[in-house]
Amino acid sequence: MKTQLVGFAAGLVTVSAVVATPASAAQGTDDGSRLRDRCLHAVDRRLDRLDRAIERIAGARHLTDDHRKILTVQLKGTAVSLTGLRGKIASESGDALKADCRSVGVDHRVFVLLVPRACLVAAGDAELMAVGKFEDVAKKLEDAIDKAADAGRDMTEERADLASMRSYVESAHDGASGIADSILDLTPADWNDDHTVLDPARKAAIDARLDLRSAHRLAKEIRRDLRR
Amino acid sequence: MSAVTIARRLGHAGIAGVALAVVLGAPGCSARERTAEHREPVQQVQQAPRSGQSLDPDIEDGTTDQDLAEINALLAEVEADLRQTDLDLTTDEGDVR
């Protein structure tokens, strides 16, 4: 009797295993398929963003030629790498699929490093171009102030405003001139080690922008005073 | 038709013709004149000095305004780049594991 019960139990286990195997296998296949779909979607999102960034960099008038070249190589190189990965992912499964899926984000860092870096370099170069224009404006305003003073007008306040304007422009120059060099060589591995690697450059660009806005406001005030 | 009737008809035609010629020849009736009239006020506006603008050519320097407008455009581009940077940095990298 005992032997019969053991045999019955063993039979049940066997039947369960046979019945369960196709279902588990199907679930495994579903997981692989779902993972592959998620990976391909992740690649496509990045390729789309890279396309737009490459277009933006190509049309940015104020970027220096060197910076445009470096950024374009970085963006296009990443697009080529992701396109290659896309081809592999489409035909992979198991651990190889998982490794390549992980690589899409971790080894490329499109959203948190590559594209924001391009924007920050473009912003820094535009700020430096604005600094150059402000130097011309300061000279013209100084000439106009001198002529107004020669004509007998009290220009004390305007001279003080001009000095403040030049100080803001100098501060913007100091901040913006280091942006590109501080971030152009960063790699995805650098970001993986330290998620704040772009923060100093971002802060420098924001501060320089504020300085330039202040300088712009002062220049307009001086112009308005000269017209009175 | 009597000579008197003919004379009257010629008289009416003459008056109508003269009236028509006056109307057609009046200032503003030809296309060229109408165009000129339309343009005239614009030319006057362009020539008029803007309010608050100094007429002293030594002090007045329109190129400074142009420089400031160009700087403003550059700063607008900087602000667009900084906004885009923030958007990208807050995009979920969504590492697939």
ipTM rounded to 2 decimals:
0.81
| pLDDT band, residue B22 (cuts 50/70/90) | very low
Q: Residue A113 burial by CB count (10 A; 0-12/13-18/19+): exposed, middle or buried? A: buried
Nearest chain A residue to B51 by CA distance is A227
CB A227 within 8 A of CB B54: yes
Chain A nearest CA to B59, separation (Å): 5
Chain A nearest CA to B45, separation (Å): 20
Separation CA A185–CA A34 (nearest Å): 36
The string of pLDDT tens digits covering residues B40-74 is: 343 333 343 344 444 455 455 677 888 999 999 99
The string of pLDDT tens digits covering residues A197-210 is: 999 999 999 999 99
Instruction: Output DSSP code: residue B60.
Output: -
Is A112–B89 a contact, with Cβ atoms under 8 angstroms apart? yes
pLDDT < 70 regions, chain A: 1-31
3-state SS assignment for residue A185: coil
Is B64–A119 a contact, with Cβ atoms under 8 angstroms apart? no
Separation CA A86–CA A84 (nearest Å): 5
Separation CA A62–CA A119 (nearest Å): 12
Is B93–A105 a contact, with Cβ atoms under 8 angstroms apart? yes
A16-A22-A26-A32 Cα dihedral, nearest 10 degrees: 100
Q: Is B93 on the interface with A (CB under 8 A)?
A: yes
Cα-only R_g, chain B: 34
Q: How far is C-alpha A137 from the chain's CA centre?
A: 32
Chain B nearest CA to A120, separation (Å): 7
Question: Which of A106, A116, A216 is facing B72, going by the closest CB pair?
Answer: A216
3-state SS assignment for residue B58: coil
The string of pLDDT tens digits covering residues A118-137 is: 999 999 999 999 999 999 99
Please report, for residues A220, B33, B35, the alpha-carbon distance to residue B29 in angstroms, rounded to integers and kept in the order given: 48, 7, 10
